[in-house]
Amino acid sequence: MKYLCKYLIVVISSFLMVISGYSQNFRASMYFTSKSRKNVIIPFRLINNLIVIPLHINNSGVLYFILDSGVRTPIITELNSRDSITVRAYQKQKIHGLGKGDPIEVLYSPDNDFSILDIVHSNLNAYVLQNNVFKLSSKMGTNINGLIGYDVFSSFIVEIDYIKERLILHNPEKYRYRKSKRVAQLPFIIQNKKSYIHTKIEQEDGSVLPVKLLIDTGSSLALWLSLSSDKQLILPSNYQDSYLGKGLNGDIYGKLGRIKSLYIGQYQLKNPTAAFPDSSSVMNTVRLDGRNGSVGAEVLRRFRVTIDYHNKIILFIPNHNIRDKFEYNMSGLEFTVPIPGLPVFAISRIKEGSPADSVGLEVGDQLLFLNNHKNTELTLNEIHTILQSKPGRKIKLIVQRDNEKITYRFALKKEL
């Protein structure tokens, strides 16, 4: 069955030409148009710690996808009426993800054409969500159309430069490693098309515990840990109940606290924030792959990261973000953008008992000024940066509620 979809679309399959001579035989679903090409540099936008790259599908305009190493099969999450693309849709399937809800039904779309700069793929397979469960565009303030992961990582050696905001995709047959004392080189294992490292954490009581963590470029958090995965894992004594995000199968709630340290090779990251999801939200995932949790982009952005699926090696070179403290939103406010791309910011969630809650802000209030910056001068990224900047910082908001403009003042409060 064919149908015309007026939406932005993408995704990739995992077959085509075989790359040989490596520790594992991967089938490259993507490849350079020139066999002599050593690499391709792709500029990306870093939004809320997430990597957003441009793509083209079936001669479409530019589409925007999050590079998510936790995604095995690409997923088209949102469709936008401003662009048209023809796709084939066959049988319906159900897929699982994080969250408490039931598996969701998706459409399977095979044999699409893919291109990005000098990279092509002519047999692109995709899952298409029938319902916009993630609402990524409104949460990130710009058009986001999907998630892609394994097909990129299995086809190239992927170098992520978080400082310059560029992705360098290397030809595995031509790439040469450079030796440096600053490099932390870790082996990883691949299960179900995802990469996992074995490392260690130091807990509140001083105990050091080995953990198996998913490398997750699609998580903006620093770290999450499943208490049900190991009886020795301890919930920190100082924590707060938190909404942790949206999974494929529903909302994810849990606790947010800090551990003493996370070790990345020779580097010790002190006092990182750690999320502890409710066991019902992650139970199926933990049982499936035996992981203790995930390490996300709030950790990864502190390094120049090179992920090599062919030799099962990941390299970490610290950048100047390594000195950043691990902070979180200390206001209790969350904003979304009802019309992605326009500077309209609406309060979508207020944490009970938070500074924002105590002064009387309400869900639905529309931001007009933040610390004397007009809404037209701000991005959602800049709002996030202000709200997690430092404890005690004075915050002044002017919001519109119905036809009334109201001014609120409070101070950011550190609870962890």
CATH number at residue 50: 2.40.70.10
Question: Please, which residues bridge with residue 80 across strands?
Answer: none
Q: Pick from 307, 347, 302: which is nearest to 325 by CA? A: 302
The pTM assigned to this predicted structure is 0.88
Q: Which of 262, 289, 323 is the last residue of a domain?
A: 323
Domain range for 164 is 2-170
Residue 375 inside a domain? The answer is: yes
CA count, 13 A, side-chain hemisphere, 116: 25
User: Tokens standing for 261?
Assistant: 């340290």
In a domain, 273, yes or no: yes
Residue 249 identity:
N
For 121, residues 6+ apart whose C-beta sits below 8 A from its C-beta are 12, 13, 16, 29, 30, 31, 113, 114, 115, 151
Q: Which of 135, 170, 205 is the last residue of a domain?
A: 170
Tell me the β-bridge partners of 318.
303
N- to C-terminal Cα separation, the chain: 53
Q: Does residue 310 share a domain with residue 198?
A: yes
Q: Is 387 helix (H, G, I), strand (E, B) or coil?
A: helix
175 in any annotated domain: no
Q: How many CB atoms lie within 10 A of CB 192?
A: 9
* Cα–Cα dist 257/99, whole Å: 20
Distance CA 23, CA 10 (A): 29
49 lies in a domain?
yes
Residues 122 and 233 in one domain: no
Q: How far apart are CA 113 and CA 123, in angstroms?
A: 6
What one-character-per-residue DSSP string does 116-165 give? Answer: ETTEEEEEEEEEEESS--S-HHHHHTS---EEE-HHHHHHSEEEEETTTT
Q: Could you tell me if 277 and 131 lie in one domain?
A: no
CA atoms within 13 A on the CB side of 101: 14
E strands, 240-393, in order: 240-247, 250-258, 261-264, 267-270, 273-277, 293-295, 303-308, 313-318, 333-336, 346-350, 366-370, 373-374
| Residue 232 within any structural domain of the chain | yes
**Which of 144, 170, 196 is the last residue in one of the domains?**
170
* pLDDT for 320: 96
CA separation for the pair 342, 282 (Å, rounded): 35
**Same-domain pairing of 63 and 148:** yes
Report if residue 98 sits inside a domain: yes
Shared domain for 161 and 27, answered yes or no, is yes
Q: Would you report the helix, strand and coil content of the chain in percent, each value rounded to 5?
A: 10, 45, 45
What pLDDT is stored for residue 272 in this prediction? 97
Q: Are residues 312 and 206 in the same domain?
A: yes
Dihedral in degrees, nearest 10, Cα atoms 52, 44, 270, 264: 100
How high is the pLDDT of residue 306? 98
Q: How far is CA 410 from the centre of its chain?
A: 30
CA 84 to CA 131: how far, in whole Å? 18
Would you state the pLDDT for residue 157? 96
Residue type for position 107: L
The count of domains in the chain is 3
Query: Considering the domain boundaries, does residue 177 fall inside one?
Result: no
416 within a domain of the structure (yes/no) = no
**In sequence order, what are the residues at sequence separation of 6 or more whose Cβ sits closer than 8 angstroms to the Cβ of residue 123?**
13, 15, 16, 29, 110, 111, 112
Residues 6+ positions from 54 with CB-CB distance below 8 Å = 42, 62, 63, 64, 116
- Same structural domain, 202 and 54: no
Same structural domain for residues 298 and 406?
no
Domain identity same for 6 and 150: yes
State whether 194 and 218 are in the same domain. Answer: yes
Residues 346-353: contacts with CB within 8 Å, 24+ apart?
A: 347/399, 349/243, 351/242, 351/243
- Residue 239 corresponds to which amino acid? Y
Count of other CB atoms within 10 angstroms of residue 20: 8
Q: Do residues 38 and 115 share a domain?
A: yes
Q: Which residue has the tokens 């003042």?
A: 409
CA-CA distance, 256 to 207, in Å (whole number)?
19
Indicate if 369 and 407 belong to the same structural domain: yes
Beta carbons of 106 and 75 less than 8 angstroms apart: yes
Map residue 5 onto helix, strand or coil. Answer: strand
What is the structure's pLDDT at 81?
Answer: 63
pLDDT in tens, the chain (416 residues): 333 333 222 222 222 222 223 334 455 578 898 888 999 999 999 999 999 999 988 888 889 999 999 988 888 888 776 656 666 667 787 776 665 666 778 888 888 888 888 898 878 788 888 888 888 999 999 999 999 999 899 999 999 999 999 999 999 999 998 888 999 999 999 999 999 999 999 999 999 999 999 999 999 999 999 999 999 999 999 999 888 877 766 678 899 999 999 999 999 999 999 999 987 666 666 667 889 999 999 999 999 999 999 999 999 999 999 999 999 999 999 999 999 889 999 999 999 999 999 999 999 999 999 998 999 999 999 999 999 999 999 999 999 999 999 999 999 998 88
Structure tokens belonging to residue 115 = 């291109």
CATH of the domain at 392: 2.30.42.10
